[in-house]
Amino acid sequence: MNIPAARIYFPEDDRKTILKQIDGILDSGQLTLGKYGKEFEQKYAEYVGTKYAVAVNSGTSALEIILRALDIDDSSVIVPTNTFVATPASVIHAGGKVVFADITDNLGLKPASVRKVINKDTKAVFVVHIGGLIPPQIAEIQHLCQEHGLFLLEDAAHAQGSILDGKKAGSFGVAAAFSFYPTKVITSGEGGMITTNDENIYNRALVFRDQGKAGFLGNIHTELGYNWRLSEIHAAVGLSQFARLEQFITDRRRIARFYDTELKKADKVSPIKIPPGAKSNYYKYMAMLKDDIDRTALKKELKEKYTVSLSGEVYELPCHLQPIFKTRYGFKGGEFPVAEDLCQRHICLPVFAGMTEEQARYVVESLKEVLA
């Protein structure tokens, strides 16, 4: 049985509808910032439970726009070291300084590590919902931010539809960034979304995404913006997937429950604990290997002998050890021991919309054989 690491899923009906809509878009001549983008924003804001949403052309753009709308300038932003490069890179693109922090065993930012690095230059803290899990310690980080007058921001690229204590990802911080890159839980081809309750961030985000223009039709530039617009074609694709989001998450949770039950019986690998109150969308199904297991060899054998592809780690190498940041900030390794350990030891089992229990069973059986 051939098990891919992920699957991009557009049912035939959806493809037909999208094609019809694209035909209409081309015929109308309104190719960007039109009704599909607006509808996507309205539905997304309503779903997340925020007043506003702004559609943009990538998750990376969403991150940078949020930071620019908050005038981060040359202040510091605290970022967990186990994240995608776009999180810290967006801080640098917005003119700020990245300050990394360590994580806890649920792969989320560790409050004590954040507290240690807060100083007079700090302006914001990014929480990243790794693998789709909103870390419950976000409450403590929220508190820290209030205490020190910092902005709490969410990189929710992994977390469309994830919930903690009844609240959706994207509604915890001052603003949140989502990604609709093809590997994410839903995709628009390329695309992203900002959610916020803050009217000022909302208004400035609209201006930033369109070259800093004060209005769509005018030619007065009040900010230094960029072309961060989402085309109508991408918005139509995104809307189609958005209508499937709950179904996709239900599928992923069903597979995750199966893995949970099966892995309880395994002794060399254990799932990341999902704390009570948290409902992951299972963008990733993350599990920890015992320290003496060689992950590279394990993945190779699973792929070559069993045709099972594990999905990409989140993340294989913490950002402070990526050459770009290691050199820039002079890290040597050992600075963030929990992240360094967990990044090295976790695996992500395949999980995707439409995955069958038979496929999941084959994954677990193959994994058990390789580990035996």
Ligand X SMILES: *Cc1c(COP(=O)(O)O)cnc(C)c1O
The residue from 37, 161, 192, 225 that contacts ligand X (CB under 6 A) is 192
Tokens, residue 152: 């709490």
Buried b (16+ CB within 10 A) or exposed e, 278-316: bbbbbbbbbbbbeeeeeeeebbebbeeebebbbbebbbe
Nearer to ligand X, 58 or 113 (CB): 58
- Edge-first strand order for the sheet with 167-168 is 167-168, 163-164, 278-279
The residue from 6, 48, 86, 99 that contacts ligand X (CB under 6 A) is 86
The residue from 21, 32, 58, 106 that contacts ligand X (CB under 6 A) is 58
CB 252, CB 282: distance < 8 Å:
yes
The CB-of-83 to ligand X minimum distance in angstroms stands at 5
368, burial (CB in 10 Å: exposed 0-12, middle 13-18, buried 19+):
middle
Q: How many helices (H) and strands (E) does the chain have?
A: 13, 13
The residue from 50, 60, 106, 188 that contacts ligand X (CB under 6 A) is 60
**Applying CB under 6 A, does 186 fall inside the site for ligand X?**
no
- For ligand X, the nearest residue by Cβ is 59
Nearer to ligand X, 9 or 362 (CB): 9
The residue from 83, 104, 160, 171 that contacts ligand X (CB under 6 A) is 83
The CB-of-362 to ligand X minimum distance in angstroms stands at 27
- DSSP 8-state secondary structure symbol assigned to residue 152: E
The CB-of-1 to ligand X minimum distance in angstroms stands at 28
**Applying CB under 6 A, does 84 fall inside the site for ligand X?**
yes
Nearer to ligand X, 155 or 313 (CB): 155
The CB-of-64 to ligand X minimum distance in angstroms stands at 10
**Applying CB under 6 A, does 21 fall inside the site for ligand X?**
no
Binding characters for ligand X, 140-179, by CB under 6 A (x = yes): ---------------x-xx--------------------x
Distance CA 308, CA 349 (A): 9
Interface size with ligand X, residues (CB under 6 A): 14
The CB-of-87 to ligand X minimum distance in angstroms stands at 5
Nearer to ligand X, 252 or 269 (CB): 252
Nearer to ligand X, 10 or 181 (CB): 181
Distance CA 191, CA 194 (A): 11
Let me know the angle formed at the C-alpha of 166 by 163 and 169, rounded to the nearest 5 degrees.
35
What are residue 103's DSSP bridge partners?
Answer: 109
Nearer to ligand X, 125 or 302 (CB): 125
CB 241, CB 180: distance < 8 Å:
yes
Q: Which helix (H) or strand (E) holds 276?
A: none
Nearer to ligand X, 91 or 145 (CB): 91
The CB-of-301 to ligand X minimum distance in angstroms stands at 27
Nearer to ligand X, 156 or 347 (CB): 156
Chain centroid to CA 273: 19
Please report, as residue ranges, which positions from 99 to 128 form the binding site for ligand X (by CB under 6 A).
128
End-to-end distance of the chain based on CA atoms, in angstroms? 20
Spatial CB neighbours of 170, under 8 Å, sequence gap ≥ 6: 48, 49, 50, 154, 156, 159, 176, 178, 195
The CB-of-54 to ligand X minimum distance in angstroms stands at 14
332, burial (CB in 10 Å: exposed 0-12, middle 13-18, buried 19+):
exposed
- Which residues contribute to the site for ligand X (CB under 6 A)? 58-60, 83-84, 86-87, 128, 155, 157-158, 179, 181, 192
